[in-house]
Chains A and B, each alone.
Chain A
């Protein structure tokens, strides 16, 4: 009995130690993974900053003027009484969609009113129903 207890205790302690060691190894492994991801994240952020910088350079007034000269585009300043719509194509399309959907709603409501009138003309119900309470 005593021997079996001792052996069980030794097995238990060994198992516990193995679990502890496994845990530590796992932590190190996760740390390596984390480090890889941090490196990847940093590289992506750097790339993002670099691209934003490139965008600023391309959009800069000096660069745009240089391109206009190179491509010899025929631009002129608008006169003081001229109105120029500076909204982008996307914004214009959105506005068109919004206004067309509003028009649809109006049409539908007009249509339903017309239908009601038509229905009421041929309705079996009397035109005027006086309800008295």
Chain B
């Protein structure tokens, strides 16, 4: 009996263990085989993490590869609101560091979210001070911030990118698809402490954005902006603009407006952000007489020596009396332009007729977009002769009843300078990848021939005399011959021409024989003296003088580098 009991207990224990092991085995089989796909998926979700790789936004360089726009790494502050115990206290501590309203911070911290931005792209000093506070629930994410080392230089050309590195204005906006690049992605493994491990081979690198190389020269841009700033402040003007161009190619060397703004701080009124060179049109006044003169010479309607009676300063056109600023008697055609006689120019225009004037104005590019690669360009206003009134023949040829942009005036004067060819202006020279390989190159584009070389030659001579003897004397240089034209246009106010609001303009090129620079200077509502010849012409002179010295110095340096020292 004792032996029988012993056997029973032995088999009972064995059976118990056997049953237990069987249950374990079944459970194991169930987990490993039947639930394996589900559990594997769950584990992968927990441990695997797809991270988007942000591409670096392309940089912007001037024509000599000096950096104009760059990307700087910075941190953005976020909060995991559930982990922040003292929300009020946290808001109080952060408000001064971040320069934000307490109410705003409290509202953000009160939201039931696992991730909420508090401040984007803050400075390293702010980051280190926040880290010192050691507040649980706050974290930082590394991002890149668009920065502009030259602050407000060429601000209207370069434009700026927003918080998410998307171009919003200027070239940043127009060429955004080239600058932004393409994001990549990477499959990372995350451990139990949420640390990332890049172990996986599943990785597609980000394609960084392409770089833009501009036609703008930083030094010439600075010279232009410096002088423009001087005249803008000195004349307490409402606005001002300057454009410097290579007349032989259409490449823009400098483009500036006043008022301006710092690209690193774009919270300014819209007035400062407007690119007046392409977006503002105005009645040009006497500078438009170049169109009339070009048409007259090209059509052989006049010769330089032909004489016109300027009615001693008052001339009736239909029911309107046209006046000259200074009364003249008989003037030759050349003198009509040099002295900028409205009456003389109107008589020339009457000889030509409205159709011819309109044809040449259109041919010079007025009333149409120039096609420059900058956003916001307007075409101005050029009325078809069918819409001209009886007085228009005394208005349009002298630059009234027509609206032009600074860009269009620059195109016209460049056309005269280079012998009669109209080129499409451009600001971007090339698009390069980060290794300097050219992706796309932009070359000078000839639009059409407007006037013959001989007409251009004759007109250049007349315009040189405008500067040598006429209204543009203050634009003359001692060592180069300058050609140009002044303009002083009355602004329209409540449907009539104002007697105290003017636009002072000077357009010209230098040197006359081998033009290297074409320039337009426009000052809107200068206070005190308001003539183009006294306000804008001196700006032309200073910019041209310094720019030519710089160009000669750069050339000499290049030559010196290439000469071997014996």
Question: Which chain A residues have a beta carbon within 8 Å of chain B's beta carbons?
Answer: 27-28, 31-32, 34-35, 38, 42, 46, 49-50, 52-53, 56-57, 60-62, 65, 77, 80, 84, 86-87, 95, 98-99
Docked-complex contact A31 and B153, CB < 8 angstroms? no
Given contacts A56-B150, A62-B151, 10 further A-B contacts (CB under 8 A): A31-B199, A35-B196, A35-B197, A35-B198, A42-B73, A50-B72, A57-B149, A60-B153, A61-B218, A86-B557
> Which of A28, A56, A77, A80 touches B149 (beta carbons < 8 Å)?
A56
**Which are the 6 A-B pairs with shortest beta-carbon distances?**
A56-B149, A61-B222, A46-B73, A31-B197, A57-B149, A60-B150
CA gap between A53 and B458 in the complex, in Å: 50
> Which of B149, B557, B560 touches A60 (beta carbons < 8 Å)?
B149
Docked-complex contact B198 and A62, CB < 8 angstroms? no
Given A49-B70, A50-B72, A62–B199 Cβ distance below 8 Å?
no
CA gap between A31 and B199 in the complex, in Å: 6
CA gap between A62 and B224 in the complex, in Å: 12
B193 to chain A, nearest CB (A): 11
Nearest opposing residue in chain B for A53, CB measure: B70
CA gap between A35 and B186 in the complex, in Å: 14
> Which of B197, B219, B222 touches A32 (beta carbons < 8 Å)?
B197
Q: Which of B139-198 contact A (CB under 8 A)?
A: 147, 149-153, 189, 191, 195-198
In this assembly, does B387 line the interface, its C-beta being within 8 Å of a C-beta of chain A? no
Nearest opposing residue in chain A for B191, CB measure: A28
> Which of B70, B73, B150 touches A52 (beta carbons < 8 Å)?
B70
B549 surroundings in chain A (CB, below 8 A): 77, 80
> Which of A49, A62, A77, A98 touches B71 (beta carbons < 8 Å)?
A49
CA gap between A53 and B151 in the complex, in Å: 12
In this assembly, does B102 line the interface, its C-beta being within 8 Å of a C-beta of chain A? no
B interface, over-half SS: mixed
CA gap between A81 and B73 in the complex, in Å: 48
A42 to chain B, nearest CB (A): 8
B195 surroundings in chain A (CB, below 8 A): 32, 35
CA gap between A87 and B198 in the complex, in Å: 49
Given A31-B197, A35-B197, A49–B73 Cβ distance below 8 Å?
yes
A52 surroundings in chain B (CB, below 8 A): 67, 70
A56 surroundings in chain B (CB, below 8 A): 66-67, 70, 149-150
CA gap between A119 and B71 in the complex, in Å: 72
In this assembly, does B3 line the interface, its C-beta being within 8 Å of a C-beta of chain A? no
Question: Which chain B residues have a beta carbon within 8 Å of chain A's beta carbons?
Answer: 66-67, 70-73, 147, 149-153, 189, 191, 195-199, 218-219, 222, 226, 479, 546, 549, 553, 557, 560, 565
Interface centre among B149, B189, B219, B560 (most CB of A within 10 A): B149
CA gap between A38 and B203 in the complex, in Å: 15
Docked-complex contact A98 and B73, CB < 8 angstroms? no
Nearest opposing residue in chain A for B150, CB measure: A60
A110 to chain B, nearest CB (A): 18
A100 to chain B, nearest CB (A): 12
Q: Could you pull out 23 A-B pairs where Cβ atoms are within 8 angstroms?
A: A27-B199, A31-B197, A34-B198, A35-B195, A35-B197, A42-B73, A49-B70, A49-B71, A49-B72, A52-B70, A53-B67, A53-B70, A56-B70, A60-B151, A61-B150, A61-B219, A62-B152, A77-B546, A84-B553, A86-B553, A86-B557, A95-B565, A99-B565
A80 surroundings in chain B (CB, below 8 A): 479, 549
Docked-complex contact B198 and A38, CB < 8 angstroms? yes
A61 surroundings in chain B (CB, below 8 A): 150, 153, 218-219, 222
A87 surroundings in chain B (CB, below 8 A): 560
B217 to chain A, nearest CB (A): 11
CA gap between A77 and B223 in the complex, in Å: 13
CA gap between A57 and B72 in the complex, in Å: 13
B564 to chain A, nearest CB (A): 10
CA gap between A50 and B72 in the complex, in Å: 6
A57 surroundings in chain B (CB, below 8 A): 149-150
B73 surroundings in chain A (CB, below 8 A): 42, 46, 49-50
Docked-complex contact A31 and B71, CB < 8 angstroms? no
> Which of B147, B197, B553 touches A28 (beta carbons < 8 Å)?
B197
B160 to chain A, nearest CB (A): 16
Nearest opposing residue in chain A for B153, CB measure: A62
CA gap between A38 and B479 in the complex, in Å: 59
CA gap between A98 and B546 in the complex, in Å: 35
CA gap between A95 and B561 in the complex, in Å: 12
Nearest opposing residue in chain A for B264, CB measure: A57
Docked-complex contact A98 and B198, CB < 8 angstroms? no
CA gap between A46 and B143 in the complex, in Å: 11
CA gap between A12 and B196 in the complex, in Å: 35
Given A46-B73, A61-B218, A80-B479, A53–B149 Cβ distance below 8 Å?
yes
CA gap between A64 and B148 in the complex, in Å: 16
CA gap between A87 and B151 in the complex, in Å: 28
B222 to chain A, nearest CB (A): 4
B72 surroundings in chain A (CB, below 8 A): 46, 49-50, 53
A4 to chain B, nearest CB (A): 26
A104 to chain B, nearest CB (A): 15
A49 surroundings in chain B (CB, below 8 A): 70-73
B70 surroundings in chain A (CB, below 8 A): 49, 52-53, 56
> Which of A27, A31, A53, A99 touches B147 (beta carbons < 8 Å)?
A53
B191 surroundings in chain A (CB, below 8 A): 28
A103 to chain B, nearest CB (A): 11
Docked-complex contact B222 and A62, CB < 8 angstroms? yes
A84 surroundings in chain B (CB, below 8 A): 553
A34 surroundings in chain B (CB, below 8 A): 197-198
Docked-complex contact B66 and A65, CB < 8 angstroms? no
CA gap between A49 and B560 in the complex, in Å: 32
A38 surroundings in chain B (CB, below 8 A): 198
Nearest opposing residue in chain A for B557, CB measure: A86
B559 to chain A, nearest CB (A): 12
A99 surroundings in chain B (CB, below 8 A): 565
